[in-house]
A and B are shown apart, each in its own frame.
Chain A
Amino acid sequence: MDNLLSGIQMLLSVEVMAALFIGSIGGVIIGAIPGVGAAVAIAILLPATFSLEPLVGLTILLGIYGSSMYGGSLPAILINTPGTAVNALTTYDGYPMTQRGEGRRALALAYSASFFGGIFAILCLIILSPLLALIAPHFGSREIFLAALLGIILVVLAHRGQVFAAGMLASFGIFINTIGLEPVKYTKRFTFDQTWLASGVNLIVVVLGLFALSQAFLLLVDKDKSPKPQPVSGSLFSGMKELFGHKRVVTVSSSIGVMMGMIPGVGEFTAQFLSYTYARKSSKQPEIFGKGSPEGLISSEASNNAVPGAAMIPLLALGIPGEALTAMMLSVFYVHNVIPGPQLFQNKMDFVMALYMAMLILNIIVLIFLVFSTNLLTKIIQIPTRFLGVIIMVLGFVGVYSLRNSITDCAMAAGFGVFGVILKRLNLPIVPIILGMVLGGIMEVKLRSAMARVKTPLDFVDRPIAAIFAIIIVLVIVMHIRTLIIEHKNRLSEKETDHDIHDTQQR
């Protein structure tokens, strides 16, 4: 209770409250503009937040992370274009509802389901905190190594149909992290005698290149488009009551979102697909899924909004990011010497509580903002895509250059930007590279320190948590092989497949 009060006290400063408003409202606007998304915004803002207080900087980034999906549902429903990649499933039922003249109803359901999912996840986080504080100290080097290994395996296996590509890109991420002077024996690795490679490849440079600059290049090269959504008439508040008629779907979908968010390497896509599949299988009207089903819309929005809150669990308790956005936030923690992990729960519980409260408040701010400003947002999102590309490039410059005023960093970011364009056009995932870089670094350090006390391979898993992780890793691989065999038996022919089905990587 003391920690909770102390956390609330930390929030009650002008800077933190301003950060909450800027982050949450900015996140909605950024999420609503097709082609930007939280990853681009967080990548650009990262270096700017380094000079702020840790709580202020993290609140802005958390605000953007938690609220962008609310905003992303707006163009998904009104113009059939998801504002962020994770709103893709929202288009399947949201847009048909708009075509039927039920745009207001669809928006009200999406906002209320998102709000429920967001609040549900934060409540789970608060309830689980004492348990996390109890378990977290039992995580030593080998447990954290195994958790990071599980994260890498899951991020690769979660990209079904592109597992080989995800595997090579995750390995590439691990490789990039090894470049430069290694910190134990002080030998150079893959520097090719180039001084500019001796200090390694900075994570933020890669993130800015792959997320921000690649998006700018893609928008500038591609055809110019300008979304033209129709304004929505009527009150959104009245439509929100309809959510109470779908208690089961919204609760189960939010729970799936929480579970998937907690597991490193899984994230919003898997949460959405699982909850959408559940909603369709358990619905009395499965035939209207994809044609404007309120249940489909609710399941998609509740589950994707439950993920950000839950994704904070492995980040805060173990220092292991589950996906790209929390990986970026990890760098903010490190810059301020606030090291996420077991010690954070023991020594800075008030800080953790302040973050939880900030997430809770941002959901409320966002909901109120959306109810009153949806029509304003429909005007903002009409920015032509190429002009958006110009703005992202100007913003991308300040993100990379302000890091250490290095022209080399900028050249590297531009290189990764072109690489990102290729990956996005090929519909290949970017996230494994980022997680490979972050988790690869964690695995290297933790394995080295763990092996000092390990004499035989079995010693590595002789502690309960380590043994559980090892069993889960084996089970995940066995289950994947089993699923592959079943999938092979039920496969669709090449003519039946739609190669554009998952074009969401481009957004």
Chain B
Amino acid sequence: MAGARTLQDLFKRYRRPGDLVFAVVFLAFSVWLFSQLGNETRWMARTGLFSQPSFWPAVSLAGMTLFAILHWIGSICSPRIYGRWAEVGFWMRAVEYALWFMVYVLIVPFIGYLPSTIIFALVLTWRAGYRNKRFLVSALLSGCAIVVIFKSFLQVKVPGGQIYEYLPDGLRAFMLTYF
């Protein structure tokens, strides 16, 4: 950076492995969306061009497709950077954590925000490779603190768990309101 010769060098953003894979997939996605323009938007009679419901989708998809073509041409014309499929593998590994996130989302309405947050924080900490007591206790305390700050203190909208219905009357109302 400090050795950059021109101002343009400072602004440049360089390619990384996997650039071509992304360029191809994004171009295919753009072309497919563009092909759906007629089916997925309406052209209204007695309505000006700029007020047509399909005007902005058409503009944006034309922009997406045009730039995606140029980006793809840029990628295929550039020297290959090795490590493409290893990089795609890295992207795929992120999907595992997206699935963990969805499991967390799905269990909250059943077992409640506090219990599910504690379980999720502990399990994910274990999965991330932290197996000692120090990290597991930190995860437990962090989970509790987040629930207390957001649900008990800031009163964000997270519904109580179905499991809370089995609690004694006084405790049930308390858990539904604060945890």
Asked if B16 and A178 make an inter-chain contact with CB atoms under 8 angstroms apart, the answer reads no
Asked if B40 and A189 make an inter-chain contact with CB atoms under 8 angstroms apart, the answer reads yes
Binary flags per residue of B44-59, CB closer than 8 Å to A gives 1, else 0: 1001101101101101
Is B81's CB within 8 Å of the partner chain A? Answer: yes
Asked if A492 and B9 make an inter-chain contact with CB atoms under 8 angstroms apart, the answer reads yes
- In this complex, the interface size class of chain B, counting residues with CB under 8 Å from chain A, is 35 or more
Contacts of A89 in B (CB 8 A): 1
Is A172's CB within 8 Å of the partner chain B? Answer: yes
Q: What's the Cα separation between A421 and B16 when bound, in Å?
A: 13
Asked if B56 and A161 make an inter-chain contact with CB atoms under 8 angstroms apart, the answer reads no
Asked if A221 and B102 make an inter-chain contact with CB atoms under 8 angstroms apart, the answer reads no
Q: What's the Cα separation between A170 and B87 when bound, in Å?
A: 24
Binary flags per residue of B38-81, CB closer than 8 Å to A gives 1, else 0: 00111010011011011011011111101110110010001101
Asked if B1 and A189 make an inter-chain contact with CB atoms under 8 angstroms apart, the answer reads no
Is B112's CB within 8 Å of the partner chain A? Answer: no
Contacts of A51 in B (CB 8 A): 154-156
The smallest C-beta distance from B152 to any residue of chain A, in angstroms, reads 12
Of A64-72, A344-352, A443-451, the stretch lying at the interface with chain B is A443-451
The smallest C-beta distance from A302 to any residue of chain B, in angstroms, reads 17
Is B131's CB within 8 Å of the partner chain A? Answer: no
The smallest C-beta distance from A126 to any residue of chain B, in angstroms, reads 32
Contacts of A447 in B (CB 8 A): 50
Asked if A171 and B64 make an inter-chain contact with CB atoms under 8 angstroms apart, the answer reads yes
Is A393's CB within 8 Å of the partner chain B? Answer: yes
Is A471's CB within 8 Å of the partner chain B? Answer: no
Asked if B71 and A168 make an inter-chain contact with CB atoms under 8 angstroms apart, the answer reads yes
Of A130-138, A212-220, A332-340, A462-470, the stretch lying at the interface with chain B is A212-220
Asked if B50 and A92 make an inter-chain contact with CB atoms under 8 angstroms apart, the answer reads no
Interface of chain A residues 262 through 306 with chain B (CB within 8 A): 270, 273-274, 276-277, 289-291
Q: Which of A220, A394, A499 contacts B16 (CB 8 A)?
A: A499
Q: What's the Cα separation between A485 and B45 when bound, in Å?
A: 45
The smallest C-beta distance from A442 to any residue of chain B, in angstroms, reads 11
Contacts of A217 in B (CB 8 A): 94, 97-98
Asked if B138 and A387 make an inter-chain contact with CB atoms under 8 angstroms apart, the answer reads yes
Once A164-B74, A190-B41, A290-B1 are accepted as A-B contacts, the answer to whether A277 and B10 lie under 8 Å apart by CB is yes
Is B167's CB within 8 Å of the partner chain A? Answer: no
Is A425's CB within 8 Å of the partner chain B? Answer: yes
Asked if A391 and B71 make an inter-chain contact with CB atoms under 8 angstroms apart, the answer reads no
Q: What's the Cα separation between A405 and B121 when bound, in Å?
A: 20
Asked if A165 and B101 make an inter-chain contact with CB atoms under 8 angstroms apart, the answer reads no
Is A117's CB within 8 Å of the partner chain B? Answer: no
- Give the most central of B13, B44, B70, B154: most A CB within 10 Å: B13
Asked if A440 and B60 make an inter-chain contact with CB atoms under 8 angstroms apart, the answer reads yes
The smallest C-beta distance from A81 to any residue of chain B, in angstroms, reads 15
Contacts of A214 in B (CB 8 A): 94
Is A224's CB within 8 Å of the partner chain B? Answer: yes
Q: What's the Cα separation between A190 and B57 when bound, in Å?
A: 9
Interface of chain B residues 76 through 102 with chain A (CB within 8 A): 78-79, 81, 87, 90-91, 93-95, 97-98, 100-102
Asked if A501 and B1 make an inter-chain contact with CB atoms under 8 angstroms apart, the answer reads yes
Contacts of B1 in A (CB 8 A): 89, 92, 290, 501
Contacts of B111 in A (CB 8 A): none
Is A237's CB within 8 Å of the partner chain B? Answer: no
The smallest C-beta distance from A171 to any residue of chain B, in angstroms, reads 3
Asked if A168 and B42 make an inter-chain contact with CB atoms under 8 angstroms apart, the answer reads no
Majority-rule SS of B interface residues? helix
Asked if A161 and B12 make an inter-chain contact with CB atoms under 8 angstroms apart, the answer reads yes
Binary flags per residue of B145-175, CB closer than 8 Å to A gives 1, else 0: 0100011001111110000000000000000
Is B133's CB within 8 Å of the partner chain A? Answer: no
Contacts of A75 in B (CB 8 A): none
Asked if A174 and B81 make an inter-chain contact with CB atoms under 8 angstroms apart, the answer reads no
Q: What's the Cα separation between A175 and B40 when bound, in Å?
A: 13
Asked if B60 and A499 make an inter-chain contact with CB atoms under 8 angstroms apart, the answer reads no
> Looking across the interface, which residue of chain A has its beta carbon closest to that of B59?
A174
Asked if B105 and A159 make an inter-chain contact with CB atoms under 8 angstroms apart, the answer reads no
Asked if B56 and A174 make an inter-chain contact with CB atoms under 8 angstroms apart, the answer reads yes
Q: Which of B63, B90, B155, B159 contacts A425 (CB 8 A)?
A: B90
> Looking across the interface, which residue of chain B has its beta carbon closest to that of A93?
B2
> Looking across the interface, which residue of chain B has its beta carbon closest to that of A410?
B105
Q: Which of B41, B124, B143 contacts A189 (CB 8 A)?
A: B41
Binary flags per residue of A47-61, CB closer than 8 Å to B gives 1, else 0: 110010000000000
Contacts of A398 in B (CB 8 A): 146, 150-151, 156, 158
28 inter-chain pairs at a CB distance below 8 angstroms, sorted by A residue, are A92-B1, A167-B67, A168-B63, A168-B67, A168-B71, A174-B60, A175-B61, A178-B56, A216-B97, A218-B94, A220-B97, A224-B129, A277-B10, A290-B3, A386-B128, A386-B130, A389-B97, A394-B104, A398-B146, A422-B18, A425-B90, A426-B19, A426-B22, A451-B48, A451-B51, A487-B6, A499-B14, A501-B1
Residue positions of A touching B, CB distance < 8 A: 47-48, 51, 89, 92, 158-162, 164-165, 167-168, 170-172, 174-175, 178, 182, 184-185, 187-192, 213-214, 216-218, 220-221, 224, 270, 273-274, 276-277, 289-291, 384, 386-387, 389-391, 393-398, 401-402, 404-405, 407, 410-411, 414-415, 417-418, 421-422, 425-429, 436, 440, 443-444, 447-448, 451, 483, 486-487, 490, 492, 494, 497-502
